């Protein structure tokens, strides 16, 4: 009989919780204000999907509000789409199902790939009609919005990569914190001095070059390599400078045993347990987005930023990504959506958003205004004119993954640098 009673009890349990939850929510509903999709009488509603949370969401909603207030015909409705960064299955299925929003917040890196699939509306007709100036954006940023000589996105934000270094650790080992490494040789020397052992085990590591934002693009460009010829549209992965960069990474892996030192930063959402923040690594390559993390988890960390060292100690460079605004194929209110794109892409929209979300704008003057007084952010702005964008090709994501895997293979001793680069080149070209 025992089990029958327990069975009934469980059923009651389910029933009860239903009632409780239902009741609880109904009272809640009355008090809680939840944004309901509003279709404002007489205005055209433009739906805008984004995946920003926290401050970013507030900033975006501010821009939308300013726009909505500024004119009488259009109402933009921002909808949080709950997608994680990188995986946007909701947008993907919506476009494939012919039921997309009018606008979407979108990683600029993916513009070319989506455009090549004919899944974005071209903005060129609008840009030409209204003589919208794409020239006001950084060159690399507008380049990244293009595919096949047409524009498919309006750039919104950008970033760049620099060398972060722990000033206190520098002082401890007798390095000048105001004079960080500029050349690869100086970097190697600093790494060696910053790496300490305790009874045979590593206690602190100077730096692991391929962690955080130390992608192959980062080092390739730092070594003076090129990945893409804009004129011919051809990939140039096997550039001797790229080979040199990969060989350097391999030599580092051999010296410090790749398996032991590669372990911290692979998981999704693990930015927070960054070994640099924990002061286990003394240097890393990272972007401006890493600053808020440091402030949150280790506010006392005394750090500086400097351009990524190069073999010659000058001619510094970096690369940048960022977000943009797109109009998915099949968007219903295109003219109205374009009006909002123009506003978000203007100096005014850029200033409102980037000031609130503390991000770098794609317009030079906005950045000067917002960040010139900040010594760290100034470094990030100053490098932007020398910045690069990843090749805007249909296979951009495939190339990215292939390069990422290639570095892994190289540092784990599975192939010669030049051979590996050639292989990637071949694979990506086969799919062009």
Site for other proteins, residues 80 to 119, rule: CB under 8 A: 80, 82-87, 89-90, 92-99, 113-114, 117-119
**Is the CB of 55 or the CB of 129 nearer to other proteins?**
55
Question: What residues between 287 and 326 interact with other proteins by CB under 8 A?
Answer: 289, 292-293, 296-297, 299
β-pairing verdict for 387-388 and 318-319: parallel
259 binds other proteins (CB under 8 A): yes
Task: Kindly tell me which of 174 and 269 has the beta carbon lying closer to other proteins.
Answer: 269
Map residues 152-191 to x or -, x wherever contact with other proteins holds by CB under 8 A.
----------------------------------------
Region for residue 54 given its phi and psi (left: phi exceeds 0; alpha: psi -120 to 50; beta: otherwise): left
Tell me the two tokens of residue 338: 């374009």
Alpha-carbon span 210 to 264, nearest angstrom = 11
Site for other proteins in 32-71 (CB under 8 A): 32, 34-37, 52-56
- The single residue among 131, 135, 268, 373 that binds other proteins, judged by CB under 8 A, is 268
Q: What is the closest distance, in whole angstroms, from the C-beta atom of residue 255 to other proteins in the complex?
A: 16
Residue closer to other proteins, measured from CB, 30 or 69? 30
Cβ neighbours for 115, distance < 8 A, ≥ 6 positions apart: 122, 147, 148, 150, 152
H-assigned helices in 167-239:
167-172, 184-194, 216-222
Rounded CA-CA distance 146/165 in Å is: 35
Q: Give the torsion through C-alpha atoms of 283, 288, 290, 295, to 10 deg.
A: 100
**Among residues 358, 364, 376, 416, the one that binds other proteins under rule CB under 8 A:** 358
Q: How far apart are CA 392 and CA 148, in angstroms?
A: 10
Tell me how far, at minimum, the Cβ of 120 lies from other proteins, in Å.
10
Residue 330 engages other proteins in binding (rule: CB under 8 A)? no
Q: Exactly one of 9, 42, 149, 314 binds other proteins (CB under 8 A); which one?
A: 9
Min dist CB 342 to other proteins, Å, is 26
Pairing outcome for strands 150-151 and 103-107:
unpaired
Q: How many beta carbons lie within 10 A of that of residue 418, not counting itself?
A: 15
Indicate the residue among 79 and 173 with the shorter CB distance to other proteins. 79
372 binding other proteins? (CB under 8 A): no
């Amino acid at each position: 009989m025992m089990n029958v009673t327990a069975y009934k009890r469980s059923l009651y349990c389910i029933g009860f919780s239903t009632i409780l939850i239902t009741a609880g929510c109904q009272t809640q509903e009355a008090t809680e204000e939840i944004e309901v999709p509003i279709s404002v009488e007489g205005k055209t509603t433009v739906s805008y999907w984004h995946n920003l949370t926290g401050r970013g969401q507030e900033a975006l909603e501010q821009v939308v509000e300013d726009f909505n207030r500024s004119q009488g015909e259009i109402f933009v409705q921002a909808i949080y789409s709950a997608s994680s960064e990188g995986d946007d299955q909701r947008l993907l299925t919506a476009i494939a199902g012919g039921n997309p929003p009018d606008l979407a917040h979108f990683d600029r890196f993916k513009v070319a790939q989506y455009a090549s699939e004919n899944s974005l509306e071209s903005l060129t007709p609008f840009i030409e009609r209204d003589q919208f100036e794409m020239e006001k954006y950084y060159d690399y940023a507008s380049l990244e919005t293009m595919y096949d000589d047409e524009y498919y996105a309006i750039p919104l934000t950008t970033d760049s990569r620099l060398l972060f270094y722990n000033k206190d650790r520098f002082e401890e080992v007798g390095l000048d914190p105001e004079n960080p490494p500029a050349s690869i040789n100086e970097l190697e020397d600093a790494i060696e001095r910053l790496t300490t052992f305790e009874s045979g085990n590593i206690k602190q590591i100077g730096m692991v070059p391929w962690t955080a934002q130390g992608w192959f693009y980062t080092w390739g460009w730092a070594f003076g390599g090129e990945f893409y010829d804009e004129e011919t549209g051809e990939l140039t992965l096997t550039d001797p400078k790229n080979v040199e960069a990969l060989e350097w990474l391999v030599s580092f892996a051999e010296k410090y045993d790749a398996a032991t030192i590669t372990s911290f930063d692979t998981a999704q959402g693990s930015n927070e347990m960054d070994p640099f923040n924990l002061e286990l690594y003394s240097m890393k390559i990272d972007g401006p987005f890493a600053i808020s993390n440091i402030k949150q988890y280790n506010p006392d960390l005394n750090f500086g930023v400097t351009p990524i060292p190069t073999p010659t100690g000058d001619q510094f460079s970096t690369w940048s990504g960022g977000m943009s605004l797109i109009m998915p194929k099949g968007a219903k209110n295109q003219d109205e959506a374009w009006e909002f794109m123009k506003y978000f892409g203007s100096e005014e929209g850029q200033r409102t958003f980037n000031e609130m979300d503390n991000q770098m704008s794609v317009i030079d003057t906005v950045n000067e205004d917002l960040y010139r007084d900040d010594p760290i952010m100034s470094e990030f702005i100053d490098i932007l004119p020398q910045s690069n964008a990843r090749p805007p090709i249909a296979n951009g994501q495939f190339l990215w993954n292939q390069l990422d895997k290639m570095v892994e293979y190289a540092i784990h001793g599975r192939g010669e640098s030049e051979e590996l680069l050639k292989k990637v080149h071949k694979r990506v070209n086969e799919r062009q």
